[in-house]
Amino acid sequence: MTAIDSYSHNVSGEDEFGFAQAIKVGDTIYVSGQLSHDDEGNFLHPGDFDAQLQQSYKNFEKVLAHYGATRNQVASETQFIVDLPKYNTAMAAANLAYFGNHRPTSSTVGVASLFFPGQLVEISFVLDTRLPA
């Protein structure tokens, strides 16, 4: 039997919508879309792509810390971006800065809208803990 470990930020929405921020099954960690919210779940920085992106990464770092994982163990990421032509270059630059020499697979999806008014970006991840930290 494979052990399952789920993680929650304990913010509003998780119970109401019935999801975990991440779930680890064996060596794989599946991470829900991370977005710009504070520790109480309040959406931050409406309309500010760069600030939302930085807060999304900060929230992802909490998931990494829970599992004792690093960004070098990210195997895949999916970015959901409102107004992709406007923010594609900023997303690419942030991605390069965040991952450094590590190169996970990546899919970028342009969307008409996301959950919160003014939300411009959300990123989900898949990690493999067998990758070097």
- Which stretches of the chain are assigned E, i.e. beta strand? 4-7, 22-25, 28-34, 74-82, 105-111, 121-128
Please tell me the pTM assigned to this model.
Answer: 0.94
Mean pLDDT for the stretch of residues 34-60: 96
Chain-wide mean pLDDT for the chain?
95
pLDDT at 33: 97
For residue range 87-117, list pLDDT tens digits in order. 999 999 999 999 999 999 999 999 999 999 9
Beta strand pairing call for 28-34 and 74-82: unpaired
Query: What sign results for the dihedral spanned by CA atoms 34, 39, 42, 44?
Result: negative
> What domains can you pick out in the chain, each with its CATH number?
4-128 (3.30.1330.40)
pLDDT at 87: 98
Report the length, in residues, of the chain: 133
